[in-house]
Amino acid sequence: MDRVAGLALWRQIADQIKGDISKDILRPGCKLPTEILLAQQFKVNRHTIRRSIAELVEEGLLKVEQGRGTFVVDHLVDYQLGRRTRFTETVLKQNKNPIAKTLSITTISADRDIAGSLKIDEKTDVFCLETIREIDNRPLAIGSHYFPKQRFPDLIEVFKAEGSISNMLSKFGCGDYERQTTKITARPPTKREASILLQARNLPILVTESINIDKDKQPIEYGVARFSADRVQLVVET
């Protein structure tokens, strides 16, 4: 760092870190080096580094998490929850890049929650499609989507051909599906969820349970999504 006469060192360091954030050298969610390493890098004492970090925390650019370190603040994504919730459309409206990846597709027996949501008998076969949704290459949510096998017998083949849930449902004549209900809760993530979402286990996740229905008001999908709470804010349409 080239030092500027007349400008406090802590301010110069804060400005350089701020510049690295604006240039995406330090990306949202990125962990900064420790105070000791930053002090060595800038050839100053730890008190100066602490003052720089405190200033950037005050400006809303950094956050300090007890026992974990200092991180670049994530810009929260507004995720709309309404009658026609669509992941790709919601994200594109915010000029961000949505990516949906398939983790697995399996056939399971419906438990009480799944059966009740889809209005089918318990132990009836359902398809479970598990996905990871990313924004700008950062994990946002894990989704578990349940579909009645009797209603969608060729679901696996159609989904693989179409590449998205919305396109797949359109092929089955359900392109105009709507959201009937959404329940929202919060809890700590499991070890697996934290690993997939690339977050610490002491940070909460937001869980939504939703039911989508066709034009005849019949349930066609029961979904459980687990969002990284420090990357999203859920916006409920009324």
Task: Quick: pLDDT tens for 49-107.
Answer: 999 999 999 998 998 877 778 989 877 888 888 888 777 777 788 777 888 899 999 99
CATH architecture of the domain formed by 9-72: Orthogonal Bundle (1.10)
Residue 166 has a pLDDT of 92
Distance CA 205, CA 187 (A): 6
What letter represents residue 214's amino acid?
A: D
Top-level CATH class of 77-236? alpha beta
What letter represents residue 90's amino acid?
A: T
Instruction: Express as a percent the part of the chain with pLDDT over 90.
Output: 67
Closest among 138, 77, 134, 124 to 222, alpha carbons compared? 124
Instruction: Express as a percent the part of the chain with pLDDT over 70.
Output: 98
The per-residue pLDDT for range 109-133, each reduced to its tens digit, is 999 999 999 999 999 999 999 999 9
- Tell me the pLDDT of the chain averaged across its residues: 91
Q: Count how many Cα atoms sit within 13 Å of the Cα of residue 89 in the half-sphere of its side chain.
A: 9
- Per-domain boundaries in the chain: 9-72, 77-236
**Cross-strand pairs, 130:** 104, 144
- Look up tokens 């003052």; give the residue: 51
Residue 202 has a pLDDT of 84
The token duo for 146 is: 């349940």
Average pLDDT, integer, range 207-221: 97
> Whole-model pTM?
0.75
When pLDDT is cut at 50, 70 and 90, the band that residue 2 belongs to is low
Distance CA 169, CA 31 (A): 40
